[in-house]
Amino acid sequence: MFDELTGRLVQVFRALRDRGKLTEDNVRESLREVRRALLAADVHYEVVRDFVRKVEAEAIGQDVLRSISPGQQVVKVVYDALVDLLGGTAAELRRAPTPPTVILLAGLQGSGKTTLAAKLGRRAKSAGERVLLVAADLQRPAAIDQLEVLGRECGADVFVRREAADAVGMVKEALREGGAYDTVIVDTAGRLTIDQAMMAELKAVKTAAQPHEVLLVVDAMTGQDAVRTARTFDSELGVDGVVLTKLDGDARGGAALSIRAVTGKPIKLASTGERLDALEAFYPERMASRILGMGDVVSLVERAEAAIDADEAERLEKKLRREAFTLDDFMTQLRQLKKLGPLEDLLKLVPGMASGLKIDERALKRIEGMICSMTPEERRRPQIIKGSRRQRIATGSGTTVQDLNRLLKQFMQVQEIMKRMRGVGPRGLGRLKGMGLG
């Protein structure tokens, strides 16, 4: 989402850091570029104005300009201001003192409420909770079907009354059954635009459900419309927090940077893709790091811990130490890597690699196709793959012999590196340096 904004800010701050000494004019000139970048990203103009004023007041202070590295200090000032703009600290979902915790989802049609209900359900199920999804969107029959399908996918029960004409009565009935669950998530009806009928129903459903958490679901790609929607919903209904959906979309990011400042309500969660596991807690400091091109190593590690099988990783490590690493193991590693999400998204979490990245995801599919086209013996002993075998594998995987040659060469290099890394100590490091890898 923030690619364009990040690219512009990285350029501004690179120029600042390259200067050995800064003046007030240098800083003000850079902040003018920051202001243009934020406005181009569709950040609310009042938010931009206040943000730049705050940064300027601190950045032109003598402690900054006379520091050993003034450029770095200005970036730090901007980072701190961004964190504050995004809410300062992470805001967790509130829980009921005794189960069930009732979560009410509200928002316009198409904002992603139904999918979010299933994502929240999956999240709760992963924590060992019993989850009930309530299909209270009676305006859109497809929403009921969608929630049933997604409920099966995430392992949650779904409360449905297709013949119901009154969402309030249905929610009351669902909550009578909800005592057997730890979490009850209510998916409500939306409209293309805010109208009084929708708000009246939402207010009645809220009164009936007595939720512990009212989450406003906002499509981040709608820009300033998202901010106006959030402001209206909060004044009419009262919300506890915001969930930004479609953060993986081709949008400028203004909603994420404006909603907290305009509404005063925290962004609690961010949806970053269509998969049910593509839901993240919203950490202001991590988001600020991503926006400024600093990466987000903590989120990267958390993704890896959640997606990679620890037992499988230990098994592969032992095989590496025995020099028994095969193409089957190589493919297992690739598949685990794919669980972490798109490579472009992963690399953006690595400091210094946050913008302008174009990764060919098809390359991984080609590698997987080539390995799957090999016999078990060929995967164990790739050195036997010669002339006719190479042609057969290339043809079977829809690739070329040159593609296969590259794969085999890369795999041999990986094996050699792993062999030299066995028992890495002073001697092992010396061997790596001898290969140009240390």
The pTM for the full model equals 0.68
Name the residue with higher pLDDT: 217 or 432.
217
What average pLDDT does the segment 183-194 reach? 89
Q: Which CATH architecture has domain 101-294?
A: 3-Layer(aba) Sandwich (3.40)
Q: Are 249 and 218 in contact (CB under 8 A)?
A: no
| pLDDT band with cut points at 50, 70 and 90 for residue 347 | low
Confirm or reject CATH 1.20.120.140 for domain 3-85, answering yes or no: yes
What average pLDDT does the segment 193-204 reach? 88
What average pLDDT does the segment 349-366 reach? 62
Mean pLDDT of the chain: 82
What average pLDDT does the segment 208-227 reach? 89
CA 393 → CA 52, 330, 412, 413, 434, distances in Å? 59, 17, 18, 20, 34
CA distance 287 to 12: 19
Tell me the one-letter amino acid at 292: L
| pLDDT band with cut points at 50, 70 and 90 for residue 131 | very high
179 token code pair: 């005592």
Residue 110 has a pLDDT of 87
Token pair 């490579």 is at which residue? 343
Quick one: what percent of the chain has pLDDT higher than 70?
80
Separation of CA 94 from chain center: 21
Name the residue with higher pLDDT: 414 or 403.
403
Is 308's pLDDT higher than 70? no
Each residue's pLDDT tens digit, 222-240: 778 888 888 889 999 999 9
Tell me the one-letter amino acid at 330: F
Residue 400 has a pLDDT of 92
Residue 319 has a pLDDT of 61
Q: Are 271 and 114 in contact (CB under 8 A)?
A: no
Is 128's pLDDT higher than 80? yes
Residue 328 has a pLDDT of 82
Is 350's pLDDT higher than 60? no
Fold matches, 3-85 and 306-434:
no
Which CATH fold topology does 306-434 show? Answer: 434 Repressor (Amino-terminal Domain) (1.10.260)
| pLDDT band with cut points at 50, 70 and 90 for residue 3 | confident
| pLDDT band with cut points at 50, 70 and 90 for residue 178 | confident
286 token code pair: 């991590």
DSSP string, 228-296: HHHHHHHHHT--SEEEEE-TTSS---HHHHHHHHHH-PPEEEEE-SSSTT-EEE--HHHHHHHHTT---
Which of 346, 349, 381, 352 lies closest to 364, judged by CA?
A: 346
Residue 24 has a pLDDT of 85
Residue 346 has a pLDDT of 60
CA distance 298 to 289: 11
Task: List the chain domain ranges.
Answer: 3-85, 101-294, 306-434
Angle 336-272-360 from CA coordinates, rounded to 5°: 55
| pLDDT band with cut points at 50, 70 and 90 for residue 4 | confident
What average pLDDT does the segment 115-134 reach? 95
Helix (H) or strand (E) holding 111: none
Each residue's pLDDT tens digit, 257-307: 888 888 889 999 998 888 898 898 998 988 888 788 775 445 555 555 555
Name the residue with higher pLDDT: 224 or 213.
213
Residue 427 has a pLDDT of 43
Each residue's pLDDT tens digit, 407-433: 898 888 777 766 665 554 444 434 434
Residue 435 has a pLDDT of 37
Residue 424 has a pLDDT of 46
DSSP class of residue 390 equals H
Give the other-Cβ count within 10 Å of 376's Cβ.
Answer: 10
